[in-house]
A = this chain, B = another copy of it.
Amino acid sequence: MLSTTTSSATVRRVIERRYHHGNLREALLRRAQEVIRERGVAALSLRELARDVGVSHAAPRRHFADRGALLDALALAGFARLGAALRAGHDEARPDDYGGAIRAVAHAYVDFAVRDADLLELMFAGKHGDDGEVNAEIDAAARAAFGPVLELIVSAQDAALLPAGDPERVGMIHLATIQGIATLLRAGMVTADQVDGLVEDAAAQFLAAAVQTQA
């Protein structure tokens, strides 16, 4: 039918147009996340990405100076998404239920780590940049993502449920524990059905140790 032909031609033109209006960057990032999830960071190739998205192999250069720049952008987007997930976990609990919030955030973190294990590894890979220094933008995004955890600790301290003290330090141990559980799962040293129990233990230990410190 004529209308079908017309509309399909229109769609084609629109798609072509979109790439000329700044959407190639998003398309590349979206596809890159899929590839990482399916086959890992090592299998991520700029040329294949360009092919998948229907553009020449040199086109990504407009948006990402090199492969490292693409990885940095992925890490940045990853921290934004992780931050949203942690915040959503935090908001699942009732406002005064600090223990519940701590557990919900921990579970949200591990869920993210399971679903996007390779992306998380990339996010924590550090040494973004040729000379081995930490990318300041990514570092800031990471700290922002963990904001809900710190707020939680400060709130609990205000409510006298946790002893006063540097929330960064108290929270860092807890964060390390959760992150470590995710790593052990990824390595196969912990099975999927053990994870929930370990996360519960970690949250309980976090609260218990805080009380212990207080005594």
Contact = CB atoms under 8 A, between A and B. Distances in A.
Interface of A: 40, 42, 117, 121, 123-127, 134, 139, 142-143, 169, 172-173, 175-181, 183-184, 186-190, 194, 197-198, 201-202, 204-205, 208-209, 211-213
Contact of A198 (B169, B202, B208, B211): B169
Contacts of A197: 169
A212 B208 CA distance: 7
B186 A172 contact: no
Contact of A187 (B142, B184, B190, B198): B142
A183 B179 contact: yes
Given A124-B183, A169-B201, A177-B180, A139 B209 contact: no
From A117, A139, A169, A173, name the one whose CB has the most chain B CB atoms within 10 angstroms.
A173
Contact of A173 (B40, B124, B177, B213): B177
From A186, A190, A209, A211, name the one whose CB has the most chain B CB atoms within 10 angstroms.
A209
Closest 9 CB pairs of A and B: A176-B180, A180-B180, A134-B188, A179-B180, A205-B209, A124-B187, A208-B212, A177-B177, A176-B181
17 contacts: A42-B42, A126-B187, A126-B188, A139-B189, A172-B184, A172-B189, A172-B190, A172-B194, A173-B198, A175-B184, A176-B177, A176-B202, A179-B180, A205-B205, A205-B212, A208-B212, A211-B212
Given A40-B127, A189-B142, A209-B205, A176 B184 contact: yes
